[in-house]
Copies of this chain bind each other. A is one copy, B any other.
Amino acid sequence: MPEIQARTFKGTRDFLPEDMYVRDKIIAVLKSVFIRYGFAPLETPAVEYLDILTGKYGEEADKLLYPLAYKGGKELALRYDLTVPLARVVAMNPHLIKPFKRYQIQQVWRADSPQLQRGRYREFYQCDVDTVGSSELLADAEIVALMVDVFTELAIGEAQVRFNSRKVLKGIISGIGFPTGSEQDVCRSVDKLEKEGTQTVKAELISKGYGKTLVEQFSALLMQRVFGHEGITLLRRTVQSTPALDEGLGEIETIRTILDEMDVPPESAVFDFTLARGLDYYTGPIFEADLIDKPHIGSVAGGGRYDDLVGLFLKESIPAVGVSFGLERIFSIKKSDSGAQADVNSSLDCLVSFFSIDQRADCLKIVRELRNGGVRTELYYKPDSIKKQFSYADKKRIPYVIVYGPDEQKAGVITVKNMKTGIQESVPRLQLLTLIKQLLTH
């Protein structure tokens, strides 16, 4: 066999145990909040028919699909997100009782140029919750409340959810004088405001052919960017009222009222009329969460209402609202958080040392007893010198080593060494499990 160099495809990653502990903890927090809010788990295949995925996300995204060869044909692709597969599942399972509230934590693939510094990968996880089949704003507000709860429990710094409605933004765009039909196009430019600034948005709009005076007037409004009630007041004062704008502002007021009733603090979820969100398919309220102390990281969750997508495969309208949490960004924050690191040093509670073949049977009984008691136990496989076994435990950061050597055997005791303090304690053999459990809970 020729020599092959071991390597991974750029934009994909191995997660070694120290990474997995962090990721598993994050996912456990997400799941526990999702479940408490009444969302149920769903998984869909990684491989979908290509025609299920194309034409749903916009032209740019279609280019990022990974086509898959099967017996020559290229009719398959890896899933791009978890939303279109959800729409497919709803169409294929009419028996699902609505509102269907599901969460889904799975990988997605983008044939993109990975920018690893910015946390952009070709293979990454999405963590989505969606409520399908209700057009009540209570469902939208519940998603916002869930976002606030998730970030409180993740404890990665203060998070703020900003929310808006596509109706508000489109109302502003037409109210301020952009031609009818240009709303989506202008929205797409406004989406770059947070990341690239007003100048970029302005230049892009002008290059798209919109009038300079109009663009200047629009940019001036965006630059004021006041939140909450002040934002509503500003819009009512400066933008010509349209049915879309009025409806949108009505939605915003209802959502904020419900959030008050849910005890979500005003500063945790604020109205931001400049919020646009990238995806074409949003139809109503939209949400985005940022970490106040880490603005450079970008948004850590985003979502909104999309009433036309889920019914696509059924040719009927099925309202839906949801949010996607950015596991990769949350992971990069947790990973660099030294407190979290110390917490997950080892997945092992103890190492049982091994002295000689004669004592093997005793060691194996000790191992069995500990494992049956729920203690995460590794057995050293060879009768090496005890020094070597201690050093192994040390390198692997295993907190306790169980020693049952000839001396212990004679005295009918077992020695437990705390690898951090170096302190050794001997107990009668029958008390080992009790001692270890005591040590582990302290």
Indicate with 1 or 0, residue by residue over A188-227, a CB within 8 angstroms of chain B CB atoms: 0000000000000000000000000000000000000000
Q: With A and B bound together, what is the CA distance between A378 and B129 in angstroms?
A: 14
Contact of A88 among B6, B43, B71, B395 (CB under 8 A): B6
Give Cα A55 to B2, complex, Å: 10
The stretch from A159-167, A170-178, A285-293, A363-371 touching chain B is: A363-371
- Say if the beta carbon of A277 comes within 8 Å of chain B: no
- In the assembly, what is the distance between CA of A24 and CA of B6, in Å? 33
List of B residues within 8 angstroms of A96 by Cβ: 16
Contacts A12-B47, A89-B14, A392-B97 given: A136-B382 contact, CB under 8 Å? yes
Indicate whether A123 reaches chain B with its CB closer than 8 angstroms: yes
- Which of A61-69, A235-243, A245-253, A401-409 forms contacts with chain B? A61-69
Q: Mark the stretch among A257-265, A334-342, A418-426, A433-441 that contacts chain B.
A: A257-265
B-chain residues with CB within 8 Å of residue A47 when the two chains form the complex: 9, 12, 66, 109, 122-123
A46-64, CB under 8 A of B: which get 1 and which 0? 1111011001000000000
Q: Are A3 and B35 in contact (CB under 8 A)?
A: no
Q: Which of A99-107, A266-274, A299-307 contacts B (4 or more CB under 8 A)?
A: A99-107
A134 touches B42 (CB 8 A): no
Q: Which residue of B lies closest to A377 (CB)?
A: B38
| A92 at the binding interface (Cβ < 8 Å) | yes
Q: Are A4 and B68 in contact (CB under 8 A)?
A: no
* Copies of this chain, tallied across the complex: 2
From B40, B55, B109, B381, give the contact of A138 (CB < 8 A): B381
The answer to whether B123 and A36 touch across the interface, beta carbons within 8 angstroms, is: no
A35 nearest CB neighbor, chain B only: B376
Q: Is A1 part of the binding interface, using a Cβ–Cβ cutoff of 8 Å?
A: yes
A258 and B360: CB pair below 8 A?
Answer: yes
Complex formed: what's the CA distance from A348 to B70 in Å?
A: 41
Report if A74 contacts B (CB, 8 A).
Answer: yes
B residues less than 8 Å from A263 (CB atoms): 365, 368
Is A379 positioned at the interface, with any CB of B under 8 Å from its CB?
Answer: yes
With A55-B1, A136-B382, A263-B368: A14-B43 Cβ-Cβ less than 8 Å: yes
Contact status of A111 and B7, CB under 8 A, knowing A93-B16, A97-B396, A381-B134:
no
What number of A residues sit within 8 Å (CB to CB) of B? 95
Residues of B within 8 A of A182 (CB): none
How far, in angstroms, from A4 to B313 measured CA to CA in the complex?
Answer: 6
Q: How far is the CB of A15 from chain B (nearest CB, A)?
A: 4
Measured CB to CB, the closest approach of chain B to A83, in angstroms, equals 14
> Which residues in B have their C-beta under 8 angstroms from that of A48?
8-9
Chain B residue numbers with a CB within 8 Å of A111 are: 70-71
Given contacts A24-B41, A38-B348, A46-B78, 18 further A-B contacts (CB under 8 A): A3-B315, A4-B312, A6-B87, A6-B314, A9-B76, A14-B44, A15-B42, A15-B44, A17-B102, A36-B371, A38-B378, A47-B122, A66-B68, A67-B68, A136-B381, A136-B382, A138-B382, A149-B371
Chain A contact residues, CB within 8 Å of chain B: 1, 3-9, 12-17, 20-21, 23-24, 35-38, 40-49, 51-52, 55, 66-71, 74, 76, 78, 85, 87-89, 91-93, 96-97, 99, 101-102, 107, 109, 111, 122-123, 134, 136, 138-139, 142, 149, 258, 261-263, 312-315, 347-348, 360-361, 364-365, 367-368, 371, 374-379, 381-382, 392, 395-396
